Amino acid sequence: MKVYVMLGAPGAGKGTQATELSARLGLPHVASGDLFRQALRDGTRLGLEARQYMDRGALVPDDLTIRTIGERLTQADAARGVILDGFPRTRHQAEALDDFLARRGAEVGTALYVLVGETELLRRLSGRLQCEAGHTYQETSRPPQQPGLCDIDGLPLFHRQDDDVETIRARLSQQLAPMTEVVSYYRDRGTLATVNGEAETALVTDSLMRAIADHASVPASTA
Ligand code: AMP
C-alpha cells in the first residue's frame, strides 16, 4: 500500500496537486474535506456534526476525522494506496494514521509539503471556485475555460461556504499551528519533502513527482 500525504495550509493548492498526482500515480485522491462535504450533502449525522466545526473554520474533532478516514481507507479501491489530501492535520491524526498503516504492514511513503505564504493564501482562497467533485479553480489566476463550469466534468462551480473572508481568517488562525506540528512530525521521521507552492501549477507538480521519485530511491532506513 503506497500512501502519500499532502500537507499545506488551506489554499496551498493541495487539492489541485493531489488530483494531478492521483492521475499520474493511478491512486485514488482521498480528501478529508471532500468526505465531510459529501456527508453533509447526503444529510448524514457525520455531515451535520462536521458542519458545526467547518462553518467556523475549526478542525473537526480527531476521533470523528480518524474514523472517517479509516473507513475510507478500508474500501477496495484504496488497497494499493492513496493520495491523502487534508489529512492528517494534527499530530494525533498523524500518529493514528501510522498505527492504521502499521497494522497493515504499510507506512507513509512521502509527506509532501506544499509551502505558500499567507498573503498568497488569502488571495487564492477568496477567489476560489470548485465543483462538487472537488476540482478547484481560481477566479483570476486559474479560471475555468467556460465561466461557471468545471473543465474536467462540466459540473457547476461554486464558492465554498467557508471561503468567505472571515472564515478564511479563522481557518488560517486555527489550522496553521497544528499543521506546522504535523510538518515537524514527518520531518523528524525523514519522510518530508517541501516544495514551493507559489510556482506555476505544472512546475509544482513536477517538483512533487521528483520528490516522490527521489524518496523512493533512498533506502527506507536512511529516508
Ligand atoms: P478542506 O477542504 O481540506 O479545506 O477542509 C474543509 C474543512 O473540513 C476544514 O476547514 C475543517 O473544518 C474540516 N477538515 C478537513 N480535514 C480535516 C482534518 N484532517 N481534521 C480536522 N478537520 C478537517
> Measured from the CA of 69, which atom of ligand 1 is nearest?
19
Q: Is residue 89 part of a domain?
A: yes
User: Does residue 41 carry a catalytic annotation?
Assistant: no
d(CA 140, CA 123): 10
Residue nearest to atom 14 of ligand 1 (CA): 33
124 is catalytic: no
- Measured between alpha carbons, how far apart are the two ends of the chain, in Å? 17
Residue 139 lies in a domain: no
pLDDT (tens digit per residue) in 161-208: 888 888 999 999 999 999 999 999 999 999 999 999 999 999 999 999
Backbone angles phi, psi at 81, to 5 degrees: 140, 175
User: How many structural domains are present in the chain?
Assistant: 1
Q: Is residue 75 part of a domain?
A: yes
Is 128 catalytic? The answer is: yes
Residue 151 belongs to a domain: no
200 in a structural domain: yes
Look at residue 218 and tell me whether its pLDDT is greater than 70: no
What lies within 8 Å, CB to CB, of 11 at 6+ separation is: 116, 120, 121, 122, 124, 125, 128, 168
Q: In what order do the strands lie in the sheet with 107-115?
A: 29-31, 81-85, 2-7, 107-115, 192-196
The β-bridge relationship of strands 128-130 and 136-138 is antiparallel
What range does the domain containing 31 cover?
2-117+196-216
Residue of 14, 37, 72, 124 marked catalytic: 14
Which is the closest atom of ligand 1 to the Cα of 162? 10
The average pLDDT across 7-27 equals 94
> Cα(90) to centroid of ligand 1, in Å?
11
The one catalytic residue in 37, 72, 89, 124 is 89
Structural domain contains residue 39: yes
Asked if residue 177 is part of any domain, the answer here is: no
pLDDT digits (tens, 9 = 90+) for 23-66: 999 999 999 999 999 999 999 999 999 999 999 999 999 999 99
* CATH number of residue 204's parent domain: 3.40.50.300
145 within domain boundaries: no
